[in-house]
Amino acid sequence: MGSHENRLAKEASPYLLQHAKNPVDWYPWGPEALERAAREDRPILLSIGYSACHWCHVMERESFEDPDIAQAMNELFVNIKVDREERPDLDQIYQLVVQLMGQNGGWPLTVFLTPDKRPFFGGTYFPPHDRYGMPGFPKVLQAISSAYRERRGEVDLQAAELTRAIAQVTATEKEGVDVAAVHALSAKDRLAQAVAKLAPRFDAKHGGFGSRPKFPNTMSVDLLLRYAALDGDVPSRGQVAITLDAMRAGGIYDHLGGGFHRYSTDERWLVPHFEKMLYDNALLLRLYTDGARGLDEPRYAETAREIATYVAREMTDAGGGFYATQDADSEGVEGKFFVWSRDEIKTALAADSSAEDFDSHQATQLALAYFEVTENGNFEETGKTVLHTPRTLETVARDLGMTHEHAKQLLARIREKLFEVREERVKPFRDEKILAGWNGLLIGALADASTALDAPEMLGLAERAFAFLRARLLEEGRVLRHVKGDIVKGPGFLDDHAYVGNAAIDLYEATGKPEYMAAARAMADSLLLHFADRDNGGFFFTPNDGEALIHRAKDPYDQAVPSGQAMACLLLLRLGSLVEPSYAESAVAELERLAPAALENPFGLGQTLAVLDRLARGTVDVVLVGKRDDGRTRALAREAFRAYLPNRNVAWLDPSEPASREACAALAEGKAPKGEAPVAYVCRGRTCSLPVSVPTALRELLAEGKLDG
């Protein structure tokens, strides 16, 4: 690799900048590359990845830094590099190519296109030489180039067929489904059917779904939690508990720094791929918060707090926004920052003069036993161990002859000391892009968790981040995609508008500030204007004034993040309940259209089913009437937030603040204070309770009717 810089050196994306010194003549996606391909009638080699992707780094080292491979790429193709976090629209379309060819998708994604952007061949990682039963990358390059030059008719036919298939594959109508029967099901029966479909994939021994690699699949676990807590299903309750406990105990969780890694390479949650993604931690923060509420388990609240602490410490920009990812590698080695040998543990816990009350021998015994650090290790052939906690602290303490309380205090000191030592290591690379949608997921989760866990510091983080988005990425209701430094890129996609819009409502519910509801309405108005399909219903992923690609997709499926379509429907339903019923109309139509497909495939449409549950079951609306800074109003609000009410709306009606009535106009009518004391009304459907002013009375009202389906 020389000092030569290609066109990527002018980009803001850390992922693209990582490739700026490759000998490959990379272009960013844009008119310059596409025009050259058309002018020279050259095929396009499109490579998509992201900065925290381990195999992206491997392919770069093996192929893109190899002068001979780079020369072949430069002579035969127009080479385009894309950061999938910047351009999820491109990634969404071209991932389908690999899947349609019968392979698993993933990154790095390698797709070959005609100059008019139509794909004709694709794969993911290619090795530099024939191995793993895969052809070497140079052989692939020559074969693709030869086919393009010598068998052009076949290439054009393949491109036409793949492009047509891409348009068809996102259709969700199910042939032969009795739609009337689906709509006649009660909310409880719908969840029961969904859970029955999920059951064969559930791992009863280790929790979660499938075998290896194993992802958190938060949307599916959320369905189990809904069925357990709202409908009293005992097996689902056990499945949620097994999953949340096993993930927290496994190496997928960072036991020293908090937060979750991307996924586990095994079925036991033991050895992760070590990258940490903002969206995973946002979704898991919300899931563990709901687990604490729905299953009444304080240990899940502790995990939620530790996720928030991790985000505040590692992923927060000075301006308040949240960074995108942390890498799996440090010093070019995957996991090096996170793993430990027995000797490293012993050295780290060696007594020092400033801690006379710290018994290093006892601490070492406890750390090695509790985190199961062995001589041989559990991470590849390195002799290093991924910290995990297969046994409870109580069990380990008993085996070591310690009291549980002493072990608990000692463990806190151990974690502190190991963390301090780990902080001296070379940290993994951090991608400091601030993505609007991912920030929306985390802002919403922090706002909700702050109220459930009585954690004002989380609310402070959420409000600061939203202020950052408002200053840098919101323009009169339009949400831009991301910012890094002084460079802002847009327009934003459907998920950006839906996630940030829902986050604004979460902040409104947590604070009672009407300006958050005004922001949510502005984003919903933009969403309806730029993303709604007025002819066929539903919502496109790309805006009507964005770049024209080979297909304008409407993708209702969850990926690593919840479906943008489902989250758009959730935003509109919430606004319909709180502000103006007409907001809900297009959401209701789309949810009813998707219902049969969602029941058929709950694993792929879990978020859609959760929003359908809100529609079918109806909401629990809590209207707080009183000054929002009055401690008595806050005490009532706490009861609303501590209960597990996934289909909840909270409205704040402050008689001294006219804007507060506008922010919850659909629920404000007929609600008045009862003398001087703040009061709360609980409404289900079109029926509202009498006002209550005592928190315990509100708690009882909220507990009513939870198990009636």
pLDDT tens sequence across 453-471: 999 999 999 999 999 999 9
Say what the pLDDT of residue 259 is. Answer: 98
Q: What confidence tens digit (pLDDT) does each residue in 96-115 have?
A: 888 888 888 889 999 999 99
Question: Does residue 638 fall inside a structural domain?
Answer: yes
Across the range 500-517, mean pLDDT stands at 98
In three-state secondary structure terms, 227 is helix
User: What mean pLDDT is predicted for residues 61-68?
Assistant: 96
Co-location of 243 and 369 in the same domain:
yes
For the chain, the distance separating the N- and C-terminal CA atoms, rounded to the nearest angstrom, is 63
pLDDT tens-place string over residues 404-442: 999 999 999 999 999 999 999 999 999 999 999 999 999
More confident residue, 180 or 574: 574
Q: So what's the pLDDT on residue 2?
A: 43
Helix (H, G, I), strand (E, B) or coil at 401: coil
Residues 45 and 152 in one domain: yes
Domain annotation covers residue 493: no
CATH code of the domain in which 648 resides = 3.40.30.10
Residue 213 lies in a domain: yes
Q: How confident is the model at residue 172 (pLDDT cuts 50, 70, 90)?
A: low
Query: pLDDT band for position 4 (50/70/90)?
Result: confident
Mean pLDDT across 348-369? 82
Is residue 417 domain-shared with residue 272, that is, in the same domain? yes
- Judged on CB neighbours under 10 Å (0-12, 13-18, 19+), 26 is buried
Residue 110 located in a structural domain:
yes
Q: What is the model's pLDDT at position 705?
A: 58
Give me the helices (H) in 6-79, please. 14-18, 31-40, 54-59, 67-76
Instruction: Assess contact for 417 and 349: CB atoms under 8 A.
Output: yes
Instruction: Decide the pairing of beta strands 78-83 and 109-113.
Output: unpaired
Instruction: Please indicate, yes or no, if residue 465 is contained in any of the structural domains.
Output: no
> Looking at the whole model, is its pTM more than 0.85?
yes
Average pLDDT over residues 136-157: 95
Domain that holds residue 163: 7-169
Q: Quick check: 10 pLDDT over 80?
A: yes
pLDDT one-digit tens code per residue, 321-333: 999 999 988 888 8
Q: Is residue 708 pLDDT above 50, yes or no?
A: no
**563 phi and psi, to 5 degrees?**
-55, 130
Whole-number Å distance between alpha carbons of 270 and 256: 15
Name residue 664's amino acid.
Answer: C
What's the chain's average pLDDT? 93
Place of tokens 């999920």: 198
Q: Among 48-52, 180-184, 419-423, 685-689, which is the least confidently predicted range?
A: 180-184
The domain boundary, picked from 401, 431, 461, lies at: 431
Number of domains within the chain: 3
Q: Is residue 550 part of a domain?
A: no
pLDDT tens per residue, range 40-58? 999 999 999 999 888 899 9
Instruction: Judge whether residue 3 has pLDDT over 70.
Output: no
Higher pLDDT, 268 or 329: 268
Please check whether residues 217 and 158 belong to one and the same domain: no
Q: Is residue 154 part of a domain?
A: yes
DSSP line for 473-494: TEETTEE-SEEETTEEE----H
- Are 540 and 477 in contact, with CB atoms under 8 Å apart? no
Would you say 187 and 251 are in contact if contact means Cβ atoms under 8 Å apart?
no
- Give the separation between CA 611 and CA 539, rounded to whole angstroms: 15
Phi and psi for 503 in degrees, rounded to 5?
Answer: -60, -40
The answer to whether residue 26 scores a pLDDT higher than 90 is yes
> Is the Cβ–Cβ distance between 533 and 539 less than 8 Å?
yes
The domain boundary residue, chosen from 375, 396, 431? 431
**Position 703 pLDDT exceeds 50:** yes
Q: Tens digit of pLDDT for each residue in 581-609?
A: 999 999 999 999 999 999 999 999 999 99
Same domain, 336 and 265: yes
Whether residues 149 and 79 share a domain: the answer is yes
Same domain, 222 and 368: yes
One domain, residues 220 and 365: yes
Phi, psi of 118 (to 5 degrees): -85, 130
Domain boundary among 379, 396, 431: 431
Query: Is the pLDDT at 149 greater than 80, yes or no?
Result: yes
CB atoms < 10 A from the CB of 101, how many?
14
Same domain, 151 and 24: yes
**Residue 464: inside a domain, yes or no?**
no
Looking at the structure, tell me whether residues 164 and 201 fall in a common domain: no
Return the closest-CA partner of residue 537 out of 576, 593, 499, 584.
593
Q: How far is CA 161 from CA 119, 120, 210, 263, in A?
A: 9, 9, 32, 34
The pLDDT of 341-353, averaged and rounded, is: 86
Confidence band (pLDDT; 50, 70, 90) for 174?
low
**Averaged over 214-242, what is the pLDDT?**
96
Question: How far apart, in Å, are the Cα atoms of 2 and each of 6, 61, 65, 66, 74?
Answer: 11, 13, 9, 11, 16
Banded model confidence at residue 505, pLDDT cuts 50, 70, 90: very high
Please give the C-alpha separations between residue 560 and each of 223, 340, 605, 610, 628, in angstroms, as whole numbers: 16, 29, 12, 16, 37
User: Do 265 and 413 share a domain, yes or no?
Assistant: yes
Tallying the residues shown for the chain, one arrives at 709
C-beta separation of 87 from 541 below 8 A: no
Only one residue has tokens 């009813």, namely: 592
Q: Whose CA is closest to 307, among 442, 414, 460?
A: 442
Alpha carbons 493 and 452: distance in angstroms, whole number: 30
- Domain check: are 215 and 159 in the same one? no
The pLDDT assigned to 686 comes to 77
Helix axis angle, 606-617 to 585-600, nearest 10°:
120
